[in-house]
Structures are given as structure tokens and as C-alpha cells.
Structure 1
Amino acid sequence: MLIELHKLYQLAGTPGVRAISAEIQKRDDLSATMNRDLASQILSGRRWPTVKQLDSLVRVLANQAVVDLEEDVESLRFVALWTAAEQPFSNDPIEIYSADPVDRAFEEASATGRIFPIVELAMRRPPHAIIEMLDKLSGRGWGKFATDLLEELAGCLEVSRVPALASLLPPSFDAWAQSDASTFLEAFARRRSVGDVCELTDLLMRAGAKTHAGYIVKVVRDERDLFDTAKLFVVLHKGGYGWSVGGTWNLDDVWPNSLEDVLGLIAEFRALGCPEAVLTLLTRYGSGHSASHRWNLYQLLLEREMQDVAEMMAQSLMNAVSEREVAEFVSISASAGEGELASRVIKGVVSVRSRNSSSHFIQFLPAELVAIANEDRKRA
């Protein structure tokens, strides 16, 4: 039909689509009007006309042909061609979704309100293609689908594929706004097994993605149980990454305030065969809080017959805890009648630490303990 239409168009002198549209508009006897864009699309084969549109176009072209053509005859001829062209497709099922797999997945998801067609496609795509899908969702205003896609991928994507995708997710330039990377990694930390979480954190740290690892650490520390927290601490400690991943564990409010939680954490560290993690916990615990935190923990360790851990805590006071905090602990010890413990810690501090550190420590001691400290320093 299109070939015959082009022949008729040539016979009409190839008029412009503007002129064709104007001529159709002028005639009252035609069954359909047509603007220039529609005329152009029909003549180029980009749009299939209705039978009334075809009738109007054929009658105008036949009227302008350089040979004598009957409009009614040409109209009947083209209607027959149009019907023949339509017939092979009349019984075909209607194709309601796009051929493009991404558009098809989007259409299926929007038709059902469920993200899973998009997730299934994303699972088979490389990281950059997933980013393109996220951008396309955001461009359509489907922010909920974009967030759902990130969270579902966090729950099922292979651990080895996560770092590459996380590295391509845009960061947030607003300190108070959630970024795509944090949404993705925090969902991973909530939904996956502790083994997956430890494996991913290790991979991120090997790549130098400390901020991304920090997102995971924060969720595990704040939302998961003590066993998971202890296991992640040990993995990072044994990996040589330290205890400040993501800038979260060196804050004053990081370690649990509950004494029972602290004892539980110590037990997990020991069960995992990492006594050095116990020492780090004892050193950091109570930092930034009242000195009574440390004192209460020390007393509880003795009550539970955990003398070895209590001794480890005393050693951490002598070697690693800040001078002010050690002095406060010593003062509480002396006031509670534990003069021997106070004297031992004082002696340890002035014997082990530098002269400047020892002097700083002594400045914070109450007057009745200063003389003991000075005498121990002289002996040292």
C-alpha cells in the first residue's frame, strides 16, 4: 500500500505536506482532516493511517495528479490495499509491552505496582547498566521504585558484585540527606547474614572504601545483636584495619553503656579467639563518660570472678587510657577503700609513661595521692 501511495504522490507532483494539509482542510467533502505532521508520518511509513485518513489523502493527491484519475476509483483501490494489509494482523495478539527489555520491565512493574520485574532484569546486568536503570527511574519520577530496587539488590546481589555497584552510586552532598550508596549498603547490613556482612566489609576495606565500610559498621553496631557486632569487630581487627572504620567507633557514645552488654561483648570476643579485642574494648570503654563507668565495670568483673579481665583493665589504665580518666579512676578507687589498687595503678602509670605524661597525670590527682605519685616517680 505504501508503494502505491508513493506512486500516487509522485503523480501529484510531490506537493509539500503543508500544502496537502491545507487542501484537506479546505474541502468539506472529506471524511478526515490531517495536519502536516500526520501527513508526513503517513507518507514516510512511520504511521499507519486510519481508513478515513487514507481516503482523504488519496482523494487530494488524485485530484492533483498530472493524469486524469477518478477520486472514487482511487479511494476504493486504496481502501482495498489497506484492508489487505490489515488482514494478516487482525488475529494477532495485541502487544502491550515494549520490545526493549528495560522499558518492558518498567512497564510490567508499573502495571502491577511491584518492583520485581526490574529487580530480575538488574540482577543480570553489569553495574553501569544498573546505574542507567536507576537514572531512568529517577527521570520518570519513580523515586520509590529506585529506592526499592537498591534495597532489593542489597538483599540478593552476590557479595562480590556489591563493591563495584556501590562505587558508582552517587554520594550525597547534603550531610542530612540519605545517599544512594548509604541506602544500598545500610540495607545490605540489615538484611544479609553476618558472614556476608563481614565478607563485604573486608572487600570494601581492601579497596580503600572506608566510608562505604562505615555505613555497614554503623548499622551492625546500632541495630544488630552483640554476636554480629563482635564478629565484625574481630574481622576488622584481624584484617589490620583498626577500630575507627567510618569514623564511628572512636566516638564517645559508641560502646554500650549497659554493663551486661559489655560483658556479653567480652564473652563473644573471647569465644572468637581474639583477646586483643577485649583489651581494646576495655581501653575505650567509658571514654567521654563519668569515671564511674570504668569503676563499675571493674567491680562487676571481680564479682563475676573474671580476675584476668579485671587485670587486663588495670593494665589498660596504666598504659593507654588518657591521664585525666586514669586519675579519676584512681580517685574513685581510693575513696572506695581500694588503696592498694589505686597505688598499683599510680605506680604503673609513672613507671611506664613518659615524664610529661606522668606529670600531666599527677596534676589531676587529689592532694592526698599526689605525694604517693611523686614518690613512685622518683623511684622509677
Structure 2
Amino acid sequence: MPGQEAVPAGPHRDLLTALHRLYRLAGPPGLRKISEEIRDSDEFDATLNRNLISSILQGKRLPTALQLDSLARYFASLAAHAGDPKEESRQLTELWMRTQVDPKTIAAAFTPATSVNEALRAASATGDPAPLIKLCTNAAPDRVLKVLGALHERQWVAFAKEVKNSFAETFEPRGIPHLVSEMRLTERYRWSGENILTRFAATRRATESAELVRLFSATGQLGDVLTIMHASFMHAEIAESARLYCAVIEADLRPWTIEDNRGRSPISTKKLVGFAVALTEIGHEASLAPAILQWTPAHRGFQGLTVAVELNRLGYKRQADALLKEALRRGGVRQAKDYLTSEDVTSEDKELFLQVMERNEEPVEPDERMRSFNPQSRDFKSFDIPTEWR
């Protein structure tokens, strides 16, 4: 029976006391005997290996209701001075129910593992990788790699996956760059670093992702900066993506100036439009055009123009003008012509595009060639970008 420091007074200790009473009255039998006789009998609904039985008796693990029933009835069947096995099981189950509404007591009863071997034994006994995850949380990379190596040796593939997935949720931002760098030096985990950054951006708050971006920027790992920002676009709420962008800009970084040599999945037009609206509402409208065009490179066609048209449709005319001007400045008239001749663009969108083209913030007369342009005619001999936009 564990002491008060291991299992303090409360529902869990009451349950453990009653279970140990039956255990002592039963002999007590050895752990192997308990495990084998429960396994070999048809009377019990749950089997337990000896490591799990040991963890339960030491107060390191709460049994499930079926596991408790198996133990209670097994001990009662061996004890000369115990009550009816079913009645003993019923009484213990009532005590067990009280533990389910006292999470603080349960948490206090578990002693965290302090070594890789202890964590492996605990995970094996409980069928839960939680002890391994806890041991890795904010740990030095060498400990993390030792845990992953041990899981690889045992071929515990599911546990290894859960442990690796946990890093993005459990590590403080300051610990991620060192962990990612060390994992990339190990051939087996070369691509795990990218997954950590993607999951971090997808699951953490914008302020935490911004802190991680700052750390990577300080060490010159600018490709990782873009990985985090791209993952935020792809997986986080669009408002969080906008907040992350603003935080990065306020930290004197200009993400659109970073050269990106990694192939990334395209971001949908719908998300980019939502991002532009969110940037406007936050008060970073000045960053809208370069931010949008960062994720709409020339080889992806005229997506930047499409976003401008959608903004115009939603009533964000000033933002649409700024984005279209910058897109055409970078892509030239060829991009505009491609847009207007594309069979994938509706006539309505082509008309909206020309409306944006005809608008100008400066008090100048619209270009007559643009005013008379008919998108259905596909006659581009006289079509050109207004001089003011070049």
C-alpha cells in the first residue's frame, strides 16, 4: 500500500485501501498468478498484465471499471473471509465512481516517470503514451531522441507517432528551434521537424507562433519562418493567420522579402480573400498587397487578380485597387490579358475586373482604350495598362 505522499487522502486512496484489503485477504497472490488466472478464466470481462496490476496496486494507475471488477471478484474468490465476489465488486465500483469526479486527486496520485525506462514501463502497463509524452515535454533534444530511439527499437509505431505529434502542443516556443535542428541532423527524423512546425502553427495561438518566428529569424532560419506562416494559412483560423502576420510585421520583419525555395501547397482564393479582409479590420491594410502576392506567385496564374476582383465584389474597393495595381505592376499586361481570355473566368468577373482597372485614385481621365474594351471580343491590340499604374 503506497504512502500518503504518493496517494493523498481522497476517493482514490479510499478505493486503493479497499482493494488492498481484498488483496491481503486473498493471500496475497503473486502478480504473474493474478494475471494468468484471470486470463485463463471465462468468468472475467477484463484481463490485466502484471505490470498493469502492479501500477494499480501502487496507486500509479486507476483501473477501468471492468479491470476493477476482475480484480475484486478474483481476490474475493480466493479470500476465506471476504464477502460475495459480486457484492465486493459492487462496493468497490461505488468507490471507483467517486474517483471519476475528483480529477485533482487522480492527478496527484500518479508519480511521473523520471527516466526513459520508467516511462516505457508505465506506457507498456497502461497502454497509454502519456508517461513518454510527459517525459519529453520541454526536454533537451538528446532525451527526446533517446525516447524515440527506444520506441523505434521496440517497434511501437503508434506510440512513436503520438509522441512526435505531441511536441508541437507541449513545447514552449523557445525549445522548438533546438529540437527541430537536432532532429534534422538524424536521418530517421529529418522530416519530423517540418511536421512539428506545421502542427505548431495549426494548434497554437498567433502570439506563440509569432514568438517562434522571431526565434527562427534571429538564427537566420528564414525558410522555417515561411513554413510556420504557410501552415497558419493552411490549418489555423484565418483571423489567427492575420494576427500572426501583423505580429511578424510589428517585429520589424517583412515576410514577403524572404526568398522561398520550398515547394508549398497553394492557398485557396477564399482563404486569401478572408485574410485580406482580416488584415484590413486589424488595421494593417498597408501590408495587404505584398502579403497577398507573396502567396500568389506568377507560376500560379492570376490568383492575385482573382482576389482583387473578389474584394471589389465584397465592397473593399480601395483594397482591391491597391492589390490589382501591385499585381499588374509585377505581372504586366500579359497577366491581365490571360485573365480576360481565360475560359475559367466568368463574364461577370471580367466586367468587375475592368471596373477596378478603370478606377483610379488620382484625378485623371480613364484610358479610353480600357473604357471601350469588350472582354468578349478578345481583341487586345489596343489594350494596355494605364500609364499611372506602371
Distance 1:225 1:150, change over 3 A: same
Where does residue 150 of structure 1 map in the other structure?
A: 164
Could you report, residue by residue, the CA deviation over 1:265-288 in whole angstroms, capped at 9, with x for unpaired residues?
112112333223211245455844
Normalised TM-score (structure 2): 0.52
Any residues of structure 2 matched to 1:252-271 within 5 Å, and which? 254-258=266-270, 261-271=271-281
The answer to whether 1:123 aligns with 2:137 is yes
- Where 1:161 maps in the other structure, the secondary structure is helix
- Where 1:320 maps in the other structure, the secondary structure is helix
- Where 1:369 maps in the other structure, the secondary structure is coil
Looking at structure 2, the residues matched to 376 and 195 of structure 1 have their Cα atoms a distance apart, in angstroms, of: 42
Pairing partner for 1:199 from 211, 220, 227? 211
Looking at structure 2, the residues matched to 268 and 229 of structure 1 have their Cα atoms a distance apart, in angstroms, of: 9
Q: What is the CA-CA distance between 1:120 and the residue it aligns to?
A: 2.5
Q: What is the CA-CA distance between 1:318 and the residue it aligns to?
A: 4.8
Where does residue 101 of structure 1 map in the other structure?
A: 115
2:269/2:307 contact within 8 Å kept: no
Where does residue 221 of structure 2 map in the other structure?
A: 209
Q: Larger relative CO (CA 8 A, sep 6+): 1 or 2?
A: 2
Pairing partner for 1:240 from 253, 278, 291? 253
The answer to whether 1:183 aligns with 2:219 is no
- Where 2:255 maps in the other structure, the secondary structure is coil
Question: Is 293-302 or 157-166 further displaced after alignment?
Answer: 293-302
Looking at structure 2, the residues matched to 104 and 340 of structure 1 have their Cα atoms a distance apart, in angstroms, of: 69
Any residues of structure 2 matched to 1:63-78 within 5 Å, and which? none
Pairing partner for 1:140 from 154, 168, 185? 154
2:207/2:247 contact within 8 Å kept: no
2:256/2:291 contact within 8 Å kept: no
Looking at structure 2, the residues matched to 250 and 280 of structure 1 have their Cα atoms a distance apart, in angstroms, of: 19
Could you report, residue by residue, the CA deviation over 1:32-83 in whole angstroms, capped at 9, with x for unpaired residues?
xxxxxxxxxxxxxxxxxxxxxxxxxxxxxxxxxxxxxxxxxxxxxxxxxxxx
Distance 1:242 1:307, change over 3 A: same
Could you report, residue by residue, the CA deviation over 1:123-159 in whole angstroms, capped at 9, with x for unpaired residues?
3743322222222322232333233222223212222
Question: What code does the residue aligned with 1:150 have?
Answer: K
- Where 1:321 maps in the other structure, the secondary structure is helix
Looking at structure 2, the residues matched to 376 and 213 of structure 1 have their Cα atoms a distance apart, in angstroms, of: 37
Distance 1:262 1:172, change over 3 A: same
Pairing partner for 1:311 from 321, 327, 343? 321
1:331/1:366 contact within 8 Å kept: no
Looking at structure 1, the residues matched to 257 and 186 of structure 2 have their Cα atoms a distance apart, in angstroms, of: 22
Q: What is the CA-CA distance between 1:100 and the residue it aligns to?
A: 8.0
The answer to whether 1:277 aligns with 2:290 is no
Where does residue 369 of structure 1 map in the other structure?
A: 382
2:206/2:240 contact within 8 Å kept: yes
Could you report, residue by residue, the CA deviation over 1:164-186 in whole angstroms, capped at 9, with x for unpaired residues?
12211136869xx9723233333
Normalised TM-score (structure 1): 0.53
Looking at structure 2, the residues matched to 117 and 366 of structure 1 have their Cα atoms a distance apart, in angstroms, of: 69
Query: Which structure 1 segments of 5+ residues have no match?
Result: 1-92, 346-364
Give % identity: 16
Distance 1:124 1:321, change over 3 A: closer
Looking at structure 2, the residues matched to 217 and 338 of structure 1 have their Cα atoms a distance apart, in angstroms, of: 29
Could you report, residue by residue, the CA deviation over 1:204-226 in whole angstroms, capped at 9, with x for unpaired residues?
22222334444433432212221
Distance 1:168 1:123, change over 3 A: same
Pairing partner for 2:184 from 147, 167, 170? 170
Distance 1:319 1:138, change over 3 A: same
Q: What is the CA-CA distance between 1:196 and the residue it aligns to?
A: 1.6
The answer to whether 1:324 aligns with 2:302 is no
2:138/2:175 contact within 8 Å kept: no
- Where 1:240 maps in the other structure, the secondary structure is coil
1:181/1:212 contact within 8 Å kept: no
Distance 1:255 1:323, change over 3 A: farther
1:243/1:249 contact within 8 Å kept: no
Distance 1:339 1:297, change over 3 A: closer
Query: Which structure 2 segments of 5+ residues have no match?
Result: 1-56, 59-112, 361-377
Question: What code does the residue aligned with 1:227 have?
Answer: A
1:205/1:213 contact within 8 Å kept: yes
Distance 1:214 1:134, change over 3 A: farther
The answer to whether 1:230 aligns with 2:259 is no
Q: What is the CA-CA distance between 1:202 and the residue it aligns to?
A: 2.2
Looking at structure 1, the residues matched to 200 and 118 of structure 2 have their Cα atoms a distance apart, in angstroms, of: 27
Q: What is the CA-CA distance between 1:325 and the residue it aligns to?
A: 0.8
